[in-house]
Copies of this chain bind each other. A is one copy, B any other.
Amino acid sequence: MPSPDRDARDATHRFIEFLKQKRLKQTQQRMDVLRKLLSLQTHVNAEELFHALRKENPSIGYSTVYRTLKLLTECGIAKENQFGDRITRYESSFNRKHHDHIVCVECNEIYEFENEQIETLQREVAKNLGFQMLDHKLEIYGICKLCLRSKESL
């Protein structure tokens, strides 16, 4: 059975292999960014990651964070997401199934969901239009349960 710890070790292992294969170096900073991304477990942007890392290592640079996120994305450990605003958010995608996002426009919380029927219909749409589908993304925007509740009680 998969466990968060197990996944973290496996992801780390994959990253190290990836670096080796590309003749890139295994540095402290690169491992730090990976560890932090895995531990935060959410949709973080570069800024949030940078500040979290600064707390532990005040000398880490913004560019290192960006550069490492590129590498992690390249080797499939991280996934980039753009939600409405112009900010790129990253989530760890290692050992994770495809999922879509539903975003609360009030509290900005991002939830995930899966729906196999929607996936199937998307594949059909692409096929009917003669496309070879590579990727797809679906975002639903709305007001979440909690925000609706706190509005009612006014």
Q: Are A131 and B117 interface neighbours, CB within 8 A?
A: no
Q: Is A31 an interface residue (CB 8 A)?
A: no
On whether A129 and B143 interact (CB within 8 A), knowing A118-B118, A118-B122, A121-B115, the answer reads no
Asked if A138 is at the interface (CB within 8 A of a chain B CB), the reply is yes
Chain A: residues with Cβ within 8 Å of the partner, total of 34
Selected A-B contacts with CB under 8 Å, 7 pairs? A113-B129, A126-B142, A130-B145, A131-B143, A133-B140, A136-B140, A136-B141
- The 8 Å CB contact of A134, one of B82, B130, B143, is B143
The answer to whether A121 and B118 have CB atoms under 8 Å apart is yes
> Among the listed B104, B129, B140, B144, which residue makes an inter-chain contact with A102, where contact means beta carbons less than 8 Å apart?
B129
Query: How many Å from the CB of A28 to the closest CB on chain B?
Result: 30
Task: Tell whether, in the assembled complex, residue A137 and residue B138 are in contact, meaning their CB atoms are under 8 Å apart.
Answer: yes
**A142 pairs with B132, CB closer than 8 A:** yes
